[in-house]
Amino acid sequence: MRIHFHGHACFEIVGEGGRILIDPFLTGNPSATARPSDFTHLDAILVTHGHSDHLGDAVHLSKQTGAPIIAVFELASYCQSQGAKTHAMHIGGKHLFPFGLIKLTLALHGSGIESPNEEHMIYGGLACGFLLQMEGKWLYHAGDTGLFGDMELIGRRYPIEVAMLPIGDNFVMGVEEAVHASQLLRPKVVIPMHYNTFPLIAQDVGEFLHLLQRRVPESRGQALSPGESYEV
């Protein structure tokens, strides 16, 4: 199984069971190394919440590939109204797909959908994270979130191989909080995300890797530049 990083919080997971894309913010992403036209086949598109830097090209990609958007009910309903194929879920629920098992987790964040045709933001339900089991291994994409104590429960219940955690601060966890999240989750590998895309979320990833190594030696930090991959 291979994890490809496409910048910001966008990851492509390719395994024997299928190919999925998480938070496909490609168009307008200054760090993206892929374009929507690069994806002719997908088995699923996972969207953590409705903000434009996460919902991104999801609707377009669903129409282009026929892949369902997997998201909380309210966000899935919005995507369906835009012509996308969807599979609605919600926090705490799980579903077995042909490519693997998906379970939705809590994320402390908003999920308003920005629309040029609406005077106000559209309600997008709750933000979420995703636990994904493929090839017998658990991956955790935390989505946009602050630190929360139930990360310890997630870490106890699921032997996480790779955790993708935001470190950008301001809108999400910063470096210190992400290191503490790693202590609670106890993953084998931590891939930092959601940093350096814009000046407001600029962070020193080297500082994160150093603190992680010092405080959580059982978890290995793996920083990926956009376009790089990690083999699980």
Give first-to-last CA distance, the chain, whole Å: 5
Topology (CATH level 3) of domain 2-217: Metallo-beta-lactamase; Chain A (3.60.15)
**What's the pLDDT tens digit per position in 161-177?**
999 999 999 999 999 99
Provide mean pLDDT across the span 49-64: 98
Provide mean pLDDT across the span 133-146: 98
Residues in CB range of 128: below 8 A, 6 or more apart? 48, 49, 71, 72, 90, 91, 104, 105, 106, 107, 143
**What's the pLDDT tens digit per position in 92-134?**
999 999 999 999 999 999 999 987 776 789 999 999 999 999 9
- State the Cα–Cα distance between residues 11 and 25, nearest whole angstrom: 10
Burial of 219 (0-12, 13-18, 19+ CB in 10 A): buried
Predicted model pTM: 0.97
Which residue type is seen at 97?
A: F
